[in-house]
């Protein structure tokens, strides 16, 4: 058992992986049956039996393979399922969940043809309750049979039986089983349990052997029971007469025999004279009476021409029982030909015509019927039909890429009623019945004509009705309509005009209770209006003394339904004034104006026809010939469409557009034409769903003529290619294998620039193999793998197929031998993996300019042979070899032997010459090496001298006037300090713009919690209780501190008291261990609380005193960095403070001044030039950044177009050349591409650059930012060469030796440039304006002094460390390293590293320890090594001045805190913070209550806590829950 459990677990885990994210479950083996019951899906395939939850997650699966084993004490052998030992496969032909008996009935056959049945546990199919070797249902593995559970009323009670309707054969198929009886009856009733007479699965009851028989071939399609009536549907195929579709009625009363004897029947007929009618799938429509039923019929006996037809199949009890010609329950019945013909049922409506329909499911939604239709090419179509049987526009809910047939049966998910189970061959999908949420406006939601969707006014969204929280909703009416609001204009005999507005809507009760109509116009002198008459769905306005102007009276209609307001703009026209030739165009204009059409033209609505169907019957009056369509090439396309289709015909010159209408299009689509010669024209075939569309040609008068069809099929796909390799020069004949390859327009090989365009075929022919010549891979001389993709219309479809490109075959030499009249030639070649065939090689022998064909015998890896037959020539000195598109001439090797002899004679001479040349070369090489070393020494000297010059001449000449400083407002500054890693809470706890001044009233629950946390005993107990929990992480502690800060921001005095109490507790906790570690890290709630408190209290000091110096320092660093090269890929810079980010590999560069013009408008106008400083080594992206930065600094506001929307051009020789990051001229080293620079484009100093917007001036090769590429740093480089061994002779400057240590002076240069800014910043922080420290600093330092005295701490170093940990480390370091917390700005990795170096120097200034620095010390320590001692002295003076400053009184500090609270009142969302805070209380409620009890909390406080819990638990619909 212990071994079996892990095995089962592995099977379960593997199967669970079959469920994909889109609600698809992959099955092992082809599906045979599937059933749904009580939220569980049961599926039988050829190999497995599955039990799934309603969401298609796997519960259990069983293999259907194993062996038959005899169980002791059992007479019947049992199927032992096993994947290892197996000799039988159980093919399920019947799968019936029986909820009343809590089992699943599974019956079928083994390969032997013998039947077998099992009862499986309904909740656990691996539990087999009963088994028996018996024939129930069909014994054929492939059979058109039906099984269902039916309820039959007997004398005592209702019994449930299995009704089996088995396919009948006049000549039964051969069966391999021996000793297995065959059931020949068409319809039987079998027992479902052992309590019924005759035991389980028995046919017999108190009556003997009841059954329904048939003499003809019968295929059963469907069956179901409504009340006591059982309905069975079958096909009766016949060769000599037309196929029949039969309906049988049985009454489930009186027992098995009486039920089968109650047989009545009818024949279903779709149209007169049909001969190929065949039922494919069916579904009863819920509701009734009458009993409405829908069936998918093949009207020609095949699978292509299918129709969905609606019938009323209510049973006709006037027909005599058991008197049917085709079926009989009486074995002694007389000649069937003498019986009356069955009644014929005619359809109520042919609802839908579509090729390849395979399945249908009908459901009721309000007063609509909704049909879900599966097709043979892998589509699920939804069709809504109103109570008048008028259909809406069909919609495709799911579409597969290939022609995967949908299984015959569809089921609805009975749990949520919002999904349909759609089975395919070896897969089942769970598809939503609607996609309401994709309709974003009321109009779109209504136009979808989806009975499932309503517009929920409270949510302002399209959703399911039960997802709308109240009844304030709008949806489509009970009948199909074209417009949401229509109107009619009538004129009475009195002359008054009546305007009737009709709303085509269904509404909820809340919406209906607030129904108003308002009518307004800008021109009131034309009419006098009575009060409107309101009676939903109509508003009626009566206009008296009205004269409608000729151009019409524009009016604005406002209709309010609940909280939704509809706005309609109408133009009232005088109907009698709409005149012209009586064409369909004029007729539609009349109807659209709310008028009526008569034989005399347009009139008032009450005097004519108001339906536009009258316009469709009018003949257009044409002044030109009717165009005719002869052909469309191609006429079969994929569902992606086709570009540049050619239409041929007659009289095409007047055609303006092509109109295309599909079966599933409610409105036709029109497309422009071009290259119209009168006999040919070109147009694009658009994408569409699979199926057939009709094409006609549109004329200027709106009429459409001609008729042709375009067939949409599945997209092409590829499965393999032969051969799977080619040579680099291309033109190898390849055969691509797949499906629908005739629809491919072009084939693309990755890494190869050219694509192979394929010809369009005049006549359609399905292709599974496509032959084409491989494209050449130019400028590539290596082996590489290329992936194929297919181009169809505007889509590129990826293939899994790959092909390998090898270098061209290389032929080295040949030899020829004469044998009789023939010459046998052997051609040597280098070994390759091309595996060339005889057909791919052509060889000719060349003699005196004449070619002699050489017939190839065999081809090996290193040679091949051929033979020139019947020739007098004894030897050939030259061969011509052709493969693909390449021809090679190969010379004979005979003369080589003579040449070798000559070489042997010359060897002594050559050796002497080589020695002389070697000595000469060695001398030259030594001289060259000396020159190289001198040059190298000179380069290093120049680098060192330049570094020395930069160091000595570097001045702080950086721009100090930076304009307005972009300070963040207080609430955004505070929220970034409070929640640095939680953007959701950051946004949640601050108010939007416009809400700051609004004081939001708290609800009762939040008021109660607010009062509760104002109790210090409760708050400190709660904090201690939470911190004692192991599951309460450091992150939770920080969030808790920040939520308390927000919730108590209006009472900073109380927050300070709480912080003091918690700090005292923390100090006593750490006093016995290591007091110097206090406040060093943020590991407790109070430490984060202190950070927040300091940020609040020091914000004014930060903004008024320190902020300007901080911004100037950051700006100085940014400007200094921009003075030198910055690598665009690694972001390393020549000017930096961090050795790790030093760009020591930078090449030589020059400074450039560019004249930048900005494009103004779309007529080519440009602005005045702007001077921008740049470097020759800047990439194009860096140039754009510098241009936009200079623009902002110059004008004080950013350029209107963001960086990604900008492109730049360089003026060269009077024209502008686009500058791009990467283009065809980019330098490539190995497989890494260098980013283009100004030096690459040879942009000189003073050059003119034009800035354009991509929207108005799109580049020739549009591309996004290269940095969006995930492998950006692997594919591209800028200033740092990639680690690739490459010949760099093209760029000799790269060969210059660069040493990192030589460039370390750049760190010092940068430090010198920004040093004054850094010192000003430091001194603004520890300076003492007006000889007074900020109130918070003085107050807190005094608090620390007091606590040290109380704890008898005499070591002055401990107090110094406490103060350092609480102020510089906890607050100032955070600000120095994150200027984006204070300013509206973005930082770069290089800037962050520079700030980290400065922050380290700042922190070292507060350190008490002396650090000994040597030559191997970190450079960031060495940079400020001489400055730190001076700063330490200043810090000591700062701490002493604070200590010597007079004490701040309690009332003075309280006034300060009160002023800070009022200054930022109502800037935070206190309600959101309290609700988030309650989540912690809710999670640890028991622990908090226990801590309160330990601390002796009064009963009133605990009662108050319970009251708050009660209030919050009652808020079921709060957004935070």
Taking only the tens place, the pLDDT of each residue in 272-311 is: 777 778 999 999 999 878 999 999 998 877 777 899 999 9
Using alpha carbons, list the distances in angstroms from residue 1407 to 1067, 1225, 1357, 1436: 21, 56, 10, 10
Predicted pLDDT of residue 523: 66
For the residues 188-216, what does the mean pLDDT come to?
A: 78
Task: For residue 172, name the pLDDT band (cuts at 50, 70, 90).
Answer: low
Say if residue 382's pLDDT is above 90: yes
Give me the residues paired with residue 180 across strands. Answer: none
Distance, CA of 264 to CA of 1370 (rounded, Å): 91
> Could you tell me which residue, 1500 or 104, shows the higher pLDDT?
104
> Could you tell me which residue, 606 or 892, shows the higher pLDDT?
606
Distance, CA of 330 to CA of 321 (rounded, Å): 11
Task: For residue 1067, name the pLDDT band (cuts at 50, 70, 90).
Answer: confident
Is there a contact between 593 and 573 (Cβ–Cβ < 8 Å)?
yes
Residue with tokens 């609004």: 998
Long-range contacts of 998-1003 (CB under 8 A, 24+ apart): 998/1466, 999/1465, 999/1466, 1000/1466, 1000/1469, 1000/1470, 1000/1471, 1002/1470, 1002/1471, 1002/1474, 1003/1471, 1003/1515
The number of helices, as runs of H, and strands, as runs of E, in the chain is: 28, 77
Specify the DSSP element, H or E, that contains 857. strand 850-859
Predicted pLDDT of residue 1517: 42
Say if residue 951's pLDDT is above 70: no
Chain CA centroid to CA 761, Å:
36
Give me the residues paired with residue 331 across strands. Answer: none
Is there a contact between 751 and 786 (Cβ–Cβ < 8 Å)?
yes
Predicted pLDDT of residue 619: 64
Task: For residue 796, name the pLDDT band (cuts at 50, 70, 90).
Answer: confident
At 576, phi and psi to the nearest 5?
Answer: -75, -10
Tokens of 749: 């090989």
Predicted pLDDT of residue 358: 93
Predicted pLDDT of residue 1394: 92
Predicted pLDDT of residue 123: 93
Taking only the tens place, the pLDDT of each residue in 1301-1338 is: 666 777 888 888 888 899 899 888 888 777 788 888 98
Taking only the tens place, the pLDDT of each residue in 575-627 is: 988 888 888 888 888 999 999 998 888 999 888 888 877 887 776 666 667 89
Task: For residue 1260, name the pLDDT band (cuts at 50, 70, 90).
Answer: very low
Predicted pLDDT of residue 349: 92
Buried b / exposed e across 278-317, counting CB within 10 Å, b at 16+? bbbbbbbbeeeeebbbbbbbbbeeeeebbbbbbbebbbee
Residues 6+ apart with CB under 8 A from 817: 823, 824, 826
Distance, CA of 1513 to CA of 597 (rounded, Å): 65
The closest alpha carbon to 411, from 428, 389, 426, belongs to 428
Predicted pLDDT of residue 956: 45
Taking only the tens place, the pLDDT of each residue in 685-740 is: 998 888 888 999 998 877 888 889 888 888 888 989 999 999 988 899 999 999 88
Whole-number average pLDDT of the chain: 84
Residue with tokens 């509809």: 566
Task: For residue 8, name the pLDDT band (cuts at 50, 70, 90).
Answer: very low
Distance, CA of 37 to CA of 413 (rounded, Å): 9
The closest alpha carbon to 1429, from 1412, 1444, 1446, 1454, belongs to 1412
Strand duo 343-345 + 811-819: pairing: unpaired
Using DSSP's 3-state secondary structure scheme, residue 106 falls into: strand
Taking only the tens place, the pLDDT of each residue in 45-87 is: 988 999 999 999 999 999 999 998 888 878 788 899 887 777 8
> Could you tell me which residue, 331 or 1403, shows the higher pLDDT?
1403
Predicted pLDDT of residue 907: 85
Taking only the tens place, the pLDDT of each residue in 801-827 is: 899 999 999 898 888 888 888 889 898
Buried b / exposed e across 1040-1078, counting CB within 10 Å, b at 16+? bbbbbbbbbbbbbbbbbebbebbbeebbeeeeeeebbeb
Distance, CA of 1227 to CA of 702 (rounded, Å): 58
> Could you tell me which residue, 176 or 797, shows the higher pLDDT?
797
Distance, CA of 1263 to CA of 1254 (rounded, Å): 10
> Could you tell me which residue, 683 or 778, shows the higher pLDDT?
683
Q: Report the share of the chain in percent with pLDDT over 90.
A: 26
């Amino acid at each position: 058992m212990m071994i079996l459990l892990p095995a089962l677990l592995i099977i379960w885990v593997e199967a669970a992986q079959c469920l994909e994210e889109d609600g698809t479950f992959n099955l092992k083996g082809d599906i045979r049956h599937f059933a749904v019951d009580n939220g569980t899906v049961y599926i039988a395939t050829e190999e497995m039996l599955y039990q799934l939850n309603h969401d298609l997650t796997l519960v259990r699966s069983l293999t259907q393979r194993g062996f038959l084993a005899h169980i002791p004490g059992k007479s019947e052998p049992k199927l032992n399922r096993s994947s290892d030992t197996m000799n039988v496969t159980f093919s399920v032909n019947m799968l019936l969940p029986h909820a009343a008996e809590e089992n699943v009935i599974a019956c079928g056959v083994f390969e032997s043809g013998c039947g077998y049945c099992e009862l499986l546990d309904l909740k656990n199919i691996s539990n087999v309750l009963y088994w028996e070797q018996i024939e129930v249902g069909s014994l054929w593995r492939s059979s058109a049979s039906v099984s269902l559970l039916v309820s039959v009323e007997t004398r005592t009670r209702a019994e449930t039986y299995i009704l089996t309707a088995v396919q009948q054969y006049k000549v039964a198929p051969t069966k391999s089983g021996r000793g297995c009886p065959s059931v020949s009856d068409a319809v039987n009733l079998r027992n479902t349990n052992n309590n019924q007479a005759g035991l389980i699965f028995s046919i017999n009851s108190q009556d003997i052997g009841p059954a329904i028989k048939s003499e003809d071939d019968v295929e059963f399609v469907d069956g179901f029971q409504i009340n006591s009536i059982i309905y069975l549907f079958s096909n009766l195929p016949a060769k000599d007469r037309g196929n029949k579709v039969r309906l049988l009625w049985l009454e489930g009363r009186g027992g098995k025999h009486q039920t089968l004897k109650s047989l009545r029947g009818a024949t279903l007929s779709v149209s007169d004279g049909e001969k190929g009618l065949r039922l494919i799938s069916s579904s009863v429509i819920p509701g009734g009476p009458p009993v409405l039923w829908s069936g998918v019929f093949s009207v020609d006996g095949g699978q292509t021409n299918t129709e969905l037809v609606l019938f009323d199949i209510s049973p006709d009890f006037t027909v005599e029982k058991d008197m049917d010609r085709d079926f009989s329950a009486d074995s002694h019945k007389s000649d069937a030909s003498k019986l009356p013909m069955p009644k014929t049922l005619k359809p109520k409506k042919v609802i839908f015509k579509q090729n390849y329909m395979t399945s249908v499911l009908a459901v009721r939604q309000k007063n609509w019927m909704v049909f879900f239709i599966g097709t043979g090419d892998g589509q699920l179509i939804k069709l809504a039909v109103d109570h008048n049987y008028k259909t809406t526009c069909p919609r495709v809910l799911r579409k597969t890429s290939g022609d995967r047939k949908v299984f015959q049966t569809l089921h609805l998910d009975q749990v949520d009623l919002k999904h349909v189970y759609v089975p395919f061959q070896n897969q089942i999908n769970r598809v939503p019945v609607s996609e309401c949420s994709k309709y974003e406006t009321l109009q779109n939601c209504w136009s979808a004509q989806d009975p499932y969707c309503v517009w929920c006014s409270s949510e302002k969204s399209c959703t399911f009705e039960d997802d709308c929280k109240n009844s304030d909703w709008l949806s489509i009416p009970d009948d199909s309509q074209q417009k949401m609001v229509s109107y009619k204009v009538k004129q009475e005999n009195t002359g008054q005009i009546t305007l009737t507005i009709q709303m085509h809507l269904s509404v909820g009760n809340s919406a209906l209770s607030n129904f108003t109509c308002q009518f307004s116009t800008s021109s009131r002198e034309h009419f006098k209006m009575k009060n409107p008459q309101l009676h939903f769905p109509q508003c009626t306005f009566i206009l008296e003394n009205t004269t409608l102007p000729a151009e019409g009276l524009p009016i604005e209609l406002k209709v309010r339904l609940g909280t939704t307001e509809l706005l309609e703009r109408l133009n009232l026209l005088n109907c009698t004034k709409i005149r012209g030739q009586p064409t369909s165009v004029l007729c539609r204009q009349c109807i659209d104006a709310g008028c009526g059409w008569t034989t005399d033209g347009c009139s008032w609505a009450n005097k004519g026809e108001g339906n536009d169907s009258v316009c469709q019957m009018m003949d257009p009056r044409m002044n030109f010939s009717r165009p005719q369509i002869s052909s469309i090439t191609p006429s079969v396309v994929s569902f992606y469409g086709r570009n540049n289709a050619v239409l041929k015909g007659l009289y095409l010159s007047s055609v303006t557009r092509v109109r295309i209408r599909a079966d599933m299009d409610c409105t036709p689509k029109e497309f422009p034409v071009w290259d119209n010669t009168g006999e040919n024209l070109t147009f694009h075939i658009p994408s569409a769903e699979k199926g057939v569309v009709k094409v006609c040609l549109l004329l200027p008068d709106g009429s459409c003529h001609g008729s042709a069809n375009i067939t949409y099929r599945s997209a092409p796909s590829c499965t393999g290619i032969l051969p799977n390799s080619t040579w680099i020069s291309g033109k190898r004949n390849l055969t691509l294998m797949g499906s629908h390859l005739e629809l491919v327009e072009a084939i693309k090989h990755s890494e190869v620039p050219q694509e192979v365009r394929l010809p369009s075929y005049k006549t359609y022919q399905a292709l599974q193999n496509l032959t084409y010549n491989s494209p050449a891979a130019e400028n590539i001389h290596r082996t590489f793998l290329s992936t194929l993709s297919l181009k169809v219309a505007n889509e590129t479809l990826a293939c899994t197929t790959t092909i390998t490109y090898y270098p061209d075959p290389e032929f080295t030499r040949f030899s020829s031998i004469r044998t009789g009249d023939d010459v046998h030639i052997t051609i040597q070649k280098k070994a390759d993996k091309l595996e060339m065939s005889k057909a791919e090689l052509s060889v000719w022998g060349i003699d005196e300019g004449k070619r002699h064909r050489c017939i190839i015998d065999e081809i090996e890896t290193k040679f091949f042979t051929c033979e020139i037959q019947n020739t007098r020539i004894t030897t050939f000195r030259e061969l011509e070899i052709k493969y693909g598109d390449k021809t090679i001439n190969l010379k004979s090797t005979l003369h080589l032997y003579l040449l070798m002899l000559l070489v042997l004679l010359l060897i002594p001479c050559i050796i002497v010459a080589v020695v002389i040349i070697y000595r000469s070369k060695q001398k030259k090489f030594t001289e060259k090496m000396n020159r190289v070393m001198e040059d190298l020494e000179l380069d290093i000297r120049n680098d060192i001298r330049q570094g020395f010059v930069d160091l000595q001449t570097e001045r702080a000449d950086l721009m100090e006037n930076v304009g307005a400083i972009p300070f963040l407002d207080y609430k955004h500054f505070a929220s970034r300090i409070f929640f640095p890693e939680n953007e959701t809470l950051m946004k949640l706890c601050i108010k939007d713009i416009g809400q700051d001044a609004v004081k939001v009233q708290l609800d009762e629950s939040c008021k109660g919690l607010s009062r509760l946390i104002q109790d210090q005993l409760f708050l400190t107990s709660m904090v201690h209780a939470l911190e004692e929990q192991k599951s309460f992480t450091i992150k939770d502690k920080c969030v808790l501190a920040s939520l308390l800060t927000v919730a108590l921001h209006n009472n900073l005095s109380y927050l300070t008291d709480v912080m003091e109490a918690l700090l005292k507790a923390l100090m006593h906790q750490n006093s016995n261990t290591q007091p110097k570690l206090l406040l060093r890290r943020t590991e407790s709630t109070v430490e984060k609380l202190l950070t927040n408190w300091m940020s609040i209290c020091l914000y004014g000091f930060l903004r008024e005193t320190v902020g300007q110096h901080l911004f100037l320092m950051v700006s100085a660093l940014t400007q200094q960095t921009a003075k030198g090269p910055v690598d665009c890929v690694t972001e390393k810079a020549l000017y930096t403070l961090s050795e790790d980010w030093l760009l020591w590999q930078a090449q030589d560069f020059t400074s450039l001044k560019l004249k930048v013009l900005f494009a103004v408008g779309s007529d080519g106008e440009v602005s005045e030039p702007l001077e921008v400083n740049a470097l020759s080594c800047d990439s194009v992206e860096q140039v754009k950044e510098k241009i936009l930065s200079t623009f902002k600094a110059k004008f004080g506001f950013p350029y209107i177009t963001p960086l990604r929307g900008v492109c730049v051009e360089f003026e060269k020789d009077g024209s502008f050349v686009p500058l791009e990051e990467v283009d065809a001229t980019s330098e490539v080293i190995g497989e890494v591409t260098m980013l283009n620079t100004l030096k690459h484009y040879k942009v000189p100093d003073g050059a003119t650059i034009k800035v354009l917007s991509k929207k108005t001036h799109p580049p020739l090769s549009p591309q996004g930012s290269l940095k969006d590429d995930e492998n950006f740093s692997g594919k591209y480089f800028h200033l740092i060469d990639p680690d690739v061994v490459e010949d760099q002779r093209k760029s000799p400057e790269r060969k210059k030796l660069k040493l990192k240590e030589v460039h370390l002076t750049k760190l010092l240069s940068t430090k010198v440039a920004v040093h004054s800014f850094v010192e000003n910043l430091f001194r603004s922080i520890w300076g003492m304006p007006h000889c007074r420290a900020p109130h918070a600093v003085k107050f807190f330092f005094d608090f620390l002094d007091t606590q040290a005295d109380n704890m008898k701490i005499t070591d002055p170093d401990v107090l110094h460390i406490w103060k350092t940990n609480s102020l510089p480390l906890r607050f100032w370091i955070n600000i120095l390293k994150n200027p984006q917390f204070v300013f509206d700005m973005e930082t770069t990795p290089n800037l962050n590293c520079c700030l980290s170096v400065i922050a380290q120097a700042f922190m070292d200034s507060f350190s008490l320890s002396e650090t000994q620095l040597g030559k191997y010390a970190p450079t960031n320590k060495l940079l400020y090594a001489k400055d730190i001692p001076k700063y330490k002295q200043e810090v000591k003076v700062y701490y002493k001045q604070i200590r010597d400053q007079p004490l701040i009184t309690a009332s003075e500090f309280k006034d300060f805190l009160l002023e800070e609270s009022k200054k930022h009142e109502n800037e935070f969302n206190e309600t959101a913070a309290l609700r988030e805070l309650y989540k912690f209380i809710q999670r640890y409620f028991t622990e908090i209550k226990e801590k309160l009890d330990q601390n002796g909390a009064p009963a009133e406080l605990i009662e108050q806590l319970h009251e708050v819990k009660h209030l919050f638990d009652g808020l079921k619909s709060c957004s935070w829950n």
